[in-house]
Amino acid sequence: LITEKDYVVSVIEREAGTDVGQYSYVRADIEILSANFVLGTVDVVSGKYEIEKKNLVVKVENEARYGDDFTAILTFEGLASGETIPEEYASYHAGVLTAVGIVDVLTEEFAANVSAALSNYNVDLSAAKSITVLPRRVTAKIGRTVLVEELTENPVTSDPASIGLTFENLVEGGPETSAVTLTYKDETGATVTPDGEGFFKVIVSGLPAEYELIGEITLVIGKGKIVEISLKTSGKIYDGKAVDVASVLVLTADGAEFAAADGEVTVSLVGATEIRNSGSYVVSVIVKRAATETEPAYFGSAELTYVVEKAKVVLTAVGADRVYGDNVPTVLDYTVSGLAEGHSLAAELAGFDEVNAGSYVISVVSVVATDENGEDVSANYDVSLQNAEYVVKKAILNVRFASGKAEYGALRPAVSFTFDGFRNGDDVSSVTVGTATVKSDLTILVPGVYTEVETRGFAAENYEIVFVTEGFEFVVGRKVINITSQDAYAYEKVYDGTDAAEGGIDVSPYVVGTDDVSVSASVRFDSVNSGSRSVIFENVKLVGANADYYELISDSVITLDGVVISKYVWTVNASTFDVQIAGKVYDGTDAIPSGSITGAEAGIPDIFKKSGVKITVTGVYDNKNAGTDRTAVLTVSVALENWALNVDFVEDGTVERLTSDKNKVTFRFTKSGLEITKRELVLKSVKANDMVFSGKSALDYLKFSYTFEENKGIASGDIVFLDVSGVLDDVNVGRRTATYTVNGLRTAGSWANYVLNIEDNAAFLDTELSNEVNVTPLELILGVKLEEGRIYTGADDNTIGIESASLSWGADGGTGIGLNDAFVWNREVVATFADGTGNVLLDNRGNPVQKRVVISGIALTQTDAVAADSVLSADPKYDVSNYVISGVSGGVYYTEALISPKNISIEVGKIVLNDKFYDKTTDGSISFQPNAIEGIVESDKGLVEPKSVVKWNGTEAGENTAYVDIVGLVGERAANYVLSETISGMIMSGNIKPAEVRIDEVVFEDKNYDGTASATFARASISGVYDGDRVELEVYDYAFVSSDVAYVSEGVYNKIKVIGKARLKDGSNRNYSLYDGGVEADFVTVEESATIYPYVLSFGRKDIKIDPIVYELSFLDLDPSQPMD
């Protein structure tokens, strides 16, 4: 979409690289010109380009000859401009060369180091690894002056000794001269045997291949006396001037200087035209003088060596010393001394540009000396460098120590520090960082302030380290001891009723060395009771001579668990409890009266006397009746709270432990020889009791009650009767008078334990007494039999029939008359249900139960026979006023009856299985056609219906079957009915319809302008799908109604409508469907909206590769003899 007219790219930069590797950096400043686009994020992630390795060929520059102690001078062809080779790789010492030909001189290790040091290059060392070793150059000299007249006796032969031939420059242990053979050629070139005067060329044969003979050897044979030829001096130091050889010759003959005339001396140089430059020159000298009348002939020949030694030139370096971090000079100044007059020298120095501190030696890389004509005379000088050593002094680097603090106990605490004074871009990695500790004579610093620092191990190649302690303070604080229960200890004890504990807190693991420090604390158990307890340490503090060196941190209370208080062993026997028992008066029980037992407390151990222990002694007699020699069975209760925690009771055979509970232990033992005296009765009152009508006037002893003076009565539970007799003045119901007398005690029950003294009871014995009594009606029991087998007939039918009724005597047993012959009750009554309905009553299990029935209008009357008999009708026994019917109040009587549920039936053919929508369950429902249910009372219709369980045979949508069970009834009146027959497992057919899928939301993605109306569907949400089901909605055929941006203002854009269709995907869940207006639909139309934004431009990257430029260097044909720049 975007074209060059829509934007302008202002800047693109690329990072430059020099070393081999990849480099990256792209930056773009972009201006957008079109309204349809907006500049977004510019991708700043770099593009890449690569610098590849350059080829570098290594060669050996210098010549190698047999026997040399050879150091190869390496040259590097292809080295990038401005780069230099590390000095250690510029040459390689190969040692003494012991063979000629192709020889390997570089080791693999050296080659690998060179390649590693020159990692930017593909280093080719093949031309340097193997070199050609040339034969060693030697020269020969003739050591004999040969005269013609000597040839007879001492001829010249092929033996080198015959002419005194020697070789120079042989290696140590080289071949002997005798190993070679000589031949001679005359001036015509013919091979001859020298036997007369002349010049003969000496040919050497048999010299080993390791050697190369240079120069020619000429044998001169002459006549006459011998002239000795020598040099005044063996040479000179180079001074740039030519040497006149004749002027330095010394000729002697006959022991005196030989004065040669012109032409008598022939001087020639072997291989040279003049002696000027440094070197070794062979001077051939022949002296010939013919014989005269007065002088004999003279002859002499010699090959002399004249050496011009190299002049010593001294270079003195100037200004190399400096401090690390100072600017490094690019060119070093120097002075020159020792040059020949008119000569000049230009030197290239190296090694003066070292950066790191140290002592260094400046080396001479190259020296070019020229004479006054500009000719290179460098070979004539030995150049040495004076003042070659220079120093890069270390810069000052301050180490500043930071104040700090530590806890007492540290072994000479370390001190932190910072560096100040780095130069040349250095940082802490340029320094060997040592250690700094607080300086003190103490191995372990006591709390206080320290101001000195001890340092070790600091070093820096380029720095003089100065330690700055100004303002330094190191504070050693007290050592913190954090005490927990792990540090506490305590001792076990036997229960003593107190919380006192013995123990302490061990701080020795936290104490430095042998410091005098311990813990003071108050110690107690958390409980006085025995068992595994906690020991509590409170008021914890440090004590001791060195306690000030420490700071204690602990909880206000430290608890140590698991310390045992063992139980106290309490031995119990009969003598433990020294019990005293006072005698008692018979009280109807075997109990020993409270307070009559004393002395048991003497058996309490002392520790329990202060622990609140209580001993209670109770007892019973073995016989409660009055008598002597009674035995008491005593029960001792030791009441001690939670005694089982603290005490183990041990008893012997005289004591039996009865019970043990949480707070009490009970023992039993016996004590004999005790007495129970008879109880004296003192009457306080006697009266005849109210009574039920019996029809009798005589009163026996059972119709009376009596009371006694306090503590003078009958013991509880005893049966003792007064012998009383009396009569009623009237037997009928009502207030009546009873007259009676007391005759004494009846000999029955417990009377033998009592005494009724006449003295104390004179007011009652043998005296006529009387009082009014109330004679109440005799109770009759009404038995009613109601209608049986009552079936529910409707809620409104609340009556029930009475089948029969009868009367019987109540609890008082009657009067002896025929009851049903004497009385009748009103049978013309109606029985109704108390709740006013005829509904069935069910219990909480759903079973029918009895309902309450009300019978009203009950009345008791004499039978007709009795009423007609004047004697009977007047007899009190037949008087209805002397009777009452039990349970009848106000003529109303209550009883119960059962109503059973009514049976109903269902016609199976009228049951309908209801269709349903898919809901992922098998649950279903049924309905009933009219008159499907028979037996329901008309008024209950609609208030009771069958209870069904319907299960479809599967959950999937479509035609299917279901199992139908009808298991009961439900509804307001359901309790009144029961199904005559249940229906189980009935199979019915029906349809499960697809569930409706509702489209809740359809979202289309916003997009950047692309010139089309195409839209991108983002997501849709649907509902109506059950958990676990997968239903996929497909949205298709969608598009924006416009392809342009709906521009409002800068950064603000209107949404544009997107119209499409939605359907369930093919193969989606068949249990679901889309519905349009309640009707299943294949698809529905969706309308939503989204925003078209201006296109956001972004700029990426492209990897690029920059190849090295390959230069081809060719040489013109050059004349080697000409100077060349």
Confidence of residue 372 (pLDDT cuts 50, 70, 90): very high
Residue 36 lies in a domain: no
653-667, 681-695, 758-772: least confident range? 653-667
Helix, strand, or coil (residue 294):
coil
Answer yes or no: is 488 within a domain. yes
Residues 924 and 989 in one domain: yes
pLDDT over 70 at 611, yes or no: no
Residue 687 lies in a domain: yes
Same domain, 353 and 378: yes
Residue 12 lies in a domain: no
Average pLDDT over residues 309-321: 88
Residue 6 included in any domain: no
Tens digit of each residue's pLDDT (9 = 90 or more) over 1022-1070: 888 888 888 888 899 999 999 888 888 888 889 999 999 999 887 667 8
Q: Does 239 share its domain with 295?
A: yes
- Of 993, 1022, 1038, the residue at which a domain comes to its end is 993
pLDDT band at 881 (very low <50, low <70, confident <90, very high): confident
- My answer on whether 77 and 126 are in the same domain is yes
Q: Which of 530, 602, 617, 597 is nearest to 568 (CA)?
A: 530
Give, for 874, the enclosing helix (H) or strand (E): helix 870-874
Structure tokens at 1052: 């603000």
Amino acid at 63: E
Question: What percent of the chain is predicted at pLDDT more than 70?
Answer: 95
DSSP state of 215: S
State yes or no: pLDDT of 210 exceeds 70.
Answer: yes
**pLDDT, tens only, 1057-1104:** 999 999 988 766 788 888 887 788 888 889 999 999 888 766 666 667
The verdict on residue 23 lying in a domain is no
601 and 576 share a domain? yes
Tokens of 718: 């005893």
- Please, which residues have CB within 8 angstroms of residue 701's CB and are 6 or more apart in sequence? 721, 722, 723, 724, 725, 746
Comparing 8-22, 598-612, 948-962, 1092-1106, which segment has the lowest mean pLDDT?
A: 8-22
Identify whether 32 is part of a domain. no
Classified as helix, coil or strand, 389 is strand
Average pLDDT over residues 556-560: 89
* Both tokens assigned to 216: 């020619």
* Confidence check: pLDDT of 642 > 90: no
Is the domain of 125 the same as that of 144?
A: no
- For residues 592 and 659, state if they share a domain: yes
Which residue carries 């049951």 as its tokens?
911
Output DSSP code: residue 842. Answer: B
The helix/strand/coil state of 464 is strand
Say if residue 11's pLDDT is above 90.
no
Among residues 451, 476, 501, the one where a domain terminates is 476
Picking from 741, 776, 811, the residue at the C-terminal end of a domain is 776
Dist. CA 1033–CA 1022, nearest whole Å: 8
Per-residue pLDDT for 16 more than 60? no
Return the H-helix or E-strand segment holding 13: strand 7-13
Q: What is the mean pLDDT of the chain?
A: 86
What is the extent of the structural domain holding 1021?
999-1093
3-state secondary structure of 959: strand
pLDDT band at 345 (very low <50, low <70, confident <90, very high): very high
Q: From residue 290, how far is each of 222, 256, 299, 775, 889 by CA, in Å?
A: 10, 18, 9, 214, 204
Answer yes or no: do 915 and 1008 share one domain: no
The pLDDT > 90 percentage for the chain reads: 24
State pTM to two decimals.
0.36
Tell me the H-state helices in 969-1112: none
Cα 75 off chain centre by? 61
pLDDT tens per residue across span 140-189: 888 888 888 888 889 999 999 999 888 888 888 888 888 899 999 988 88
| Average pLDDT of the residues in 407-425 | 86
Q: Let me know whether 384 and 296 are in one domain.
A: no
Backbone angles phi, psi at 913, to 5 degrees: -85, 125
579 & 666 share domain? yes
What's the pLDDT at 1037?
92
- Separation of alpha carbons 1092 and 806, rounded Å: 104
Higher per-residue confidence, 949 vs 660: 949
Please report whether residue 926 resides in a domain: yes
Query: Is 878 found in the same domain as 801?
Result: yes
- ∠ Cα 136 140 145 (to 5°): 175
pLDDT per residue as tens digits for the range 21-37 = 666 555 556 777 766 77
Tell me, what amino acid is at 141?
A: K
What CATH number is given to the structural domain containing 253? 2.60.40.10
pLDDT at 707 over 70: yes
Cβ neighbour number for residue 249 with a 10 Å cutoff? 19
Task: Give residue 44's pLDDT band: very low, low, confident or very high (50, 70, 90).
Answer: very low
| End-to-end Cα distance, the chain | 62
Domain co-membership, 91 together with 155: no
pLDDT interval class at 12 (50, 70, 90): low
Q: How many domains does the chain have?
A: 11
- 45 confidence band (pLDDT: 50, 70, 90): very low
